[in-house]
Structure formats: C-alpha cells, structure tokens
Copies of this chain bind each other. A is one copy, B any other.
Amino acid sequence: MADSLTTSLFQELEGLVLIDPHSHINPHAAASKTLADLMGYHYYTELAHSAGLPKDQIEGPEISPKEKVGRLVEKLTDLDNTIQVSWLLEMCREFFGFTDDRITAANWEALYDTAEKKMAQPDWEQQVLRHSKIEKVFLTNDFDDPLTGFDTNVYVPCLRTDDLVFHFGRQAVRDRLQKATDVDVSDAVTLRNALGKLFAHFTGKGARACAISLPPTFCPKKVDAGAASAVIKRAAKGQTLTLAEEGLLSAYVFWTLAEFCAEYKLPFDLMIGVNRRVYECGVYQGQDLYDTRVSLIQYRDVLNAFPQVTFPISVLTHMSNQELVSYSWIFPNVVTNGHWWYSNTPTYIEQDTRSRLEAVPRNKQIGYYSDMYKLEFALPKFRMYRRILARVLATEFVQHRGWSEEQALSLGRQVLRGNVESVFKIS
C-alpha cells in the first residue's frame, strides 16, 4: 500500500514544472554537446579517479571528448553502485533511448554517437528544458559577469561573491572589480561604492539572489570601517596581508554584502561548510572536502543583525542538518535550502527531508536545487528528490499522520515550487 501510494504521489510530483533555484549553468552553453560534457562532471571524474583512474588519463587538452568518455567508461564498473552513476544512466535512458543495464566497453560508442546527434539538434536546449519540466534556472554568476546575451527570464542571474569575500587580496580580483564597476577601490568607502554598483547591475538584470560558499571556520562579525579601510588600503597597494588582516577584510566584505542584500531586498544564499583544496592532487573540482565541526551559532550575529534579509541556508553535511532545522524553526529569516553536494545522496536527503518537513514552517523550505553544470542533470537529480519526497510524504504524512493524498501533495508542491517563487520573489 505504501508502495502504490508512493508511486501515485511521485507521479503527481513528476508532473510539476519547476524553477531550479541554484545551478552552475553557463547560459551561453547550457546544454551538452557530447557525452563528455555529462561524464566530465566532477562527480564522475573524481569518483573514477578515486577508484583508481590516473588523473592524466582524463585531464589535459590533448584528450578528445570521445577518448575521455572511453576511459571513464572503463572505470564505471567500479562506480555503478553510486547514485551519481544512476543519474547518468537515467539521462541516457530519458534523452537517448538507452536501454541497457549498464554503460560498458561494448555499448558506449553507439551511445556516444546517438547522444552527439541528438545534442546537435538546434533546439536541444529547449528539448531538455521541456522534457525535464524546468521553467527557469538560477545561475551562479561571477561578480563581473556582464549578464548579457541570454534570456534572464529563463536563466536567472545570481551574484556569487566568494571571490570578493575571500580573495580581494588577489590583484586579479581587484582588477576585475575595477573593470566591472569603474571604481578605484582604495578604502572602505570606495569598496562599498564598488559593491553597490554590482548590486545595482545585478538587480537591474533581474538577479534574484546573492550567494556565497563558506569554510567551516568562517564566523561573520561586524567590523569597524576604519580598521577595514586600513587593510583595504594595504591590499589595494598589493601588500601581502596577514591572516588576521585577511580575516578582517573577509568579515568586512561579507557584512557589507549583507547590508546591500537588505537595501536591494535580495535573499543571501549561504552555503556553509566547505574546505577548499583538501586533496591537492585531485581532479578539477574534485579537491574540496570539509570538517564537520562547524555550527550555525557562528552566524548568530549576522542573523540577528539582518532580520529583513532572507538567508536560504545550505549545509554541506547531514551532521549540520539538525542545526539548520532548529535555526529555521526559530529565526524568521532562515530558510532551509536543498541538499548540497556531499549530502545530496538518498540516505541523507531522506532523513534531512523528514526532519525538515516535521519541524520547519512549510513556507520556509526550499526542497531542492540541482547544482548542475549542464542542463541534462536537472532531470535525474530532481527525480531522485521527487522520489524521496514522495516516500516521505506517503510514510510520514499519509500513513503516520492520516493526511489525505491531496494534502500531502500540496505540501510537496510547496517545497518543490511554491516556496522558490515566494522566497525569491518570482511572479
């Protein structure tokens, strides 16, 4: 009974057209050209590398897309248990009519060619969006992105701010900021001016969020503008900052971003917990890990200081999920946001979803985002989530709490779509 109920709920949820509130899509090349665009996703390269494939076999300009896929396919037998490879199979089935159980040395070339042909169709991008039931996709834009040449109504700009907060000490970052804003940053006032220009530019182009990923050690504090000015001056002159100065500068920029989020009424997506470059010899984008010893108590000051800013928060690990539940339950300006990266696997999604649905106000939960780099991934990733959501709704709400199927569906629709609209003010 649970099974037929789950299936029925899943099918209803599958019918829903979605807005994807976080991705890394390049709007100028949103869909894939070959299977290498799919299998080059860091999940496959890092898992294959972890399973024993040398990095130089899959990274390097001399490796053609087809060669790369061929080499990765050989490693798939060691990875077919992973949920990530199940996404790959699901894409191949849905988009390319693939019918085998596994992608193997014997069948991959035919699949590659079929995929290449389909992906070459002029309306491939539209086909993928339509077939995946995706209406809009939020982007992750560099702060100096001109945001031109694409339909911002479909590909919604978001101001990503990691570079500003953590790498202002780098000449290249300061140059990009100068070029993007035409402001010579030399102290706190000019830095604020430059940041303000970015917000004006982004919101003018329809941006719907400011976003940042943060290391487990980060603890936002309000910093004295005078003290910040002194450090900014040193940075602007190209002087090397001490760790303490870097920390002060990061804190100042972060706090200023929050102030602009308040001014421009922009939600501030916080993605908390990542340590960069932990495995230095890892493949591209496969080097980051974390330290579970992080707490939302570190965000106490900023959450109290900006009641008018909505903070959709993603946490990197299941161990932080209960804090996210509790902080969202208490703070009006905290919203739970999706299932990020290392927590984006069924075991953790299921438990985190259950705990959120039973304790956080239903209007404060953004169920899922794809985090994808290529458009084809929305389908299997959202489908994985919809399956789990259907299961939780069937078991916890219909069976254990006696809700009607329609009531459960209404909750499902709200976390899948409704709250994305209300939190990010999409009409």
User: Given the complex, which residues of B lie within 8 Å of A347, measured CB to CB?
Assistant: 351, 354-355, 358
Task: Kindly state the separation between the CA atoms of A5 and B364 in the bound complex, as whole angstroms.
Answer: 36
User: Given the complex, which residues of B lie within 8 Å of A328, measured CB to CB?
Assistant: 50
The answer to whether B291 touches A278, judged by C-beta atoms less than 8 angstroms apart, is no
The answer to whether A363 touches B51, judged by C-beta atoms less than 8 angstroms apart, is yes
Of A103-111, A161-169, A296-304, the stretch lying at the interface with chain B is: A296-304
Q: Is A46 an interface residue (CB 8 A)?
A: yes
Task: Kindly state the separation between the CA atoms of A303 and B286 in the bound complex, as whole angstroms.
Answer: 15
The answer to whether B275 touches A361, judged by C-beta atoms less than 8 angstroms apart, is no
The answer to whether A332 touches B49, judged by C-beta atoms less than 8 angstroms apart, is yes
Q: Is A99 an interface residue (CB 8 A)?
A: no
A329 to chain B: closest residue by CB: B50
User: Given the complex, which residues of B lie within 8 Å of A280, measured CB to CB?
Assistant: 304
Of A66-74, A80-88, A131-139, A242-250, the stretch lying at the interface with chain B is: A80-88
User: Given the complex, which residues of B lie within 8 Å of A400, measured CB to CB?
Assistant: 346, 387
Q: Is A292 an interface residue (CB 8 A)?
A: yes
Q: Which residue, of A79, A275, A346, has the highest number of chain B Cβ atoms within 10 A?
A: A346
The answer to whether B290 touches A332, judged by C-beta atoms less than 8 angstroms apart, is no
Task: Kindly state the separation between the CA atoms of A148 and B25 in the bound complex, as whole angstroms.
Answer: 63
* A51 in complex: contacting residue of B80, B278, B359, B364, CB < 8 Å: B364
Q: Is A348 an interface residue (CB 8 A)?
A: yes
The answer to whether B346 touches A396, judged by C-beta atoms less than 8 angstroms apart, is yes
**Knowing that A289-B326, A292-B320, A293-B295 are A-B contacts, what are 18 other residue pairs whose CB atoms are under 8 Å apart, sorted by A's residue number?**
A46-B330, A50-B331, A50-B361, A51-B332, A79-B362, A80-B362, A82-B360, A101-B404, A281-B304, A292-B323, A317-B323, A318-B322, A319-B319, A345-B358, A345-B359, A346-B358, A346-B396, A346-B400
Q: Which A residues are closer than 8 A to B by beta carbons?
A: 46-47, 49-52, 78-84, 86, 101, 275, 278-282, 286-287, 289-293, 295-297, 300, 303-304, 307, 317-320, 322-323, 325-332, 342-343, 345-348, 351, 354-355, 357-364, 387, 396-397, 400-401, 404, 407, 411
Could you name 28 residue pairs across A and B whose Cβ atoms are closer than 8 Å? A46-B329, A49-B332, A50-B331, A50-B332, A51-B363, A51-B364, A52-B332, A79-B362, A81-B357, A81-B411, A82-B358, A82-B361, A83-B358, A83-B359, A86-B401, A278-B300, A279-B304, A280-B304, A282-B330, A282-B331, A289-B330, A290-B323, A293-B293, A319-B319, A322-B342, A329-B342, A345-B359, A347-B354
